Amino acid sequence: MNGSFFGDMLQTIAERGRALLDRTRPARAGGARQSDTLVELCEALLTGRGEASGVALAREILATYAALTIGPRIAFFEALASRFGPDRVRLQAAIGRWEKEATEETIAEIHHAAEPRRQELFRRLNLGPGGTAALVRMREQLIDAMDHRDDLRVVDSDFVHLFSSWFNRGFLVLRRIDWSTPANILEKIIKHEAVHKIRSWDDLRRRIDPPDRCCYAFFHPALVDEPLIFVEVALTREIADSIAPILAAQREGLDPDKATTAVFYSISNCQRGLAGVTFGHFLIKQVVEEISRDMPRLSRFVTLSPAPNFAEWLRRERGVDKSIALTSEDRALLENLDVEGWWQHPDFREPVREPLMRAAAYYFLRA
């Protein structure tokens, strides 16, 4: 059975649930449906018990939310933060019972009581048709709202907590992206490439069509045809020391059977609503396994990608009186970086190689 079957089944349940809600919801002057607020619907979803009515409510809430403008949307996030936290009365009672008798049962009761009601709300919203995709979009908008609203971070923490479970490695599907991949997916690869911009369809084809180039992406069954993250790989004879030869429009292709090195030169996240959920490490490990199985001659696997914000961090470390990342000798050698065009002259370039490597190691592991 495929995702379409389950989607149709949820849709049917939602339709029947909506009919049930229409029959049981009390009529009020002016139209009850229009006067129900989003928060009231969320409360009803949390207190309801019927599966069909729950799916229908979830769909109604998500549809109502999707129609909100920025102001009401922020108000909804505020309500999630202030009104859907832990049940403090229940939590206090659970703590009291634990203080009298510290058992596994009373500890578990504290654990359940401390969970914000938002988490159960998001779980029930996820039951609605297209619920996962709608919640990912909701978190995108929450991230935007958090620019000046630290009080909304508690809501974001709950999203990250749940998404880390819903999108764990066991649910992800690895797919190779090639020139036969549907165009709607290829368009998203072009759109979301974040390291080395894809400038045209020809540029994309040069990256995924030749035998010595490949691209892999993770997908999730709940987000049909929506790549979560993808990595681009070049098969080479040697370890590349720059990106230019890999992306060159005119280059000599390599028989994959003669390749000894796989260069992972770009990795891009496609879903901003899943920021903070770890995919990259698992993706690279699985791709290594995949191409090693197909090309056993490969013996080296390396990355070639920018180090985001490294230059700014190094500038700050060089500017402070005492740096725990740089020794005084390294700081003196790194003064060569201030020389214009230093990388073009061996007399300036070679002395900074080792201190730069040490600084980069510190940055990646500890900064």
Strands (DSSP E) found in 34-180: 173-177
- pLDDT of res. 15: 56
* Residue 260 near residue 299 (C-beta atoms within 8 A): yes
Show the domains of the chain with their CATH numbers.
Answer: 3-166 (1.20.140.90), 169-303 (3.40.630.180), 310-365 (no CATH)
Question: Which one-letter DSSP state was computed for residue 320?
Answer: S
Backbone angles phi, psi at 27, to 5 degrees: -80, 140
Cβ neighbours, 10 Å, residue 42: 25
pLDDT value, residue 363: 85
Give the pLDDT confidence score for residue 36 in this predicted structure. 43
State residue 309's pLDDT score.
75
Helix, strand, coil fractions of the chain, as percent rounded to 5: 60, 10, 30
Order of strands, sheet of 229-236, starting from the edge strand that comes earlier in the sequence: 173-177, 213-219, 229-236, 261-269, 300-303
Q: Dump the DSSP string for 232-278.
A: EEEEESS--S-SHHHH-SS-----GGG--EEEEEEEEE--GGGTTS-
Q: What is the pLDDT along the chain (367 residues), one digit of tens a residue?
A: 455 554 555 455 445 545 544 544 544 433 333 334 899 999 999 998 777 788 999 999 999 999 999 999 999 999 999 999 998 999 999 999 999 989 999 999 999 989 999 999 999 999 999 999 999 999 999 999 998 899 999 999 999 999 999 999 999 999 999 999 999 999 999 999 988 999 999 999 999 999 999 999 999 999 989 999 999 999 999 988 888 899 999 999 999 999 999 999 999 999 999 998 988 889 999 999 999 999 999 999 988 866 767 888 999 999 888 888 899 999 999 999 999 888 888 899 899 999 999 998 888 777 6
Q: Tell me the pairing of strands 173-177 and 213-219.
A: antiparallel
Q: Torsion angle of alpha carbons 275, 278, 283, 284, nearest 10°?
A: 110
- Please give the pLDDT value at position 278: 87
The whole-number pLDDT of residue 241 equals: 80
Q: What is the pLDDT of residue 20?
A: 47
pLDDT at 258: 94
- Output the pLDDT for position 18: 52
Tokens describing residue 209: 């069509």
Model pLDDT, residue 308:
66
Structure confidence at residue 343 (pLDDT): 80
Separation CA 106–CA 218 (nearest Å): 40
Bridge partners (DSSP) of residue 219 are: 173
Query: What is the model's pLDDT at position 8?
Result: 55
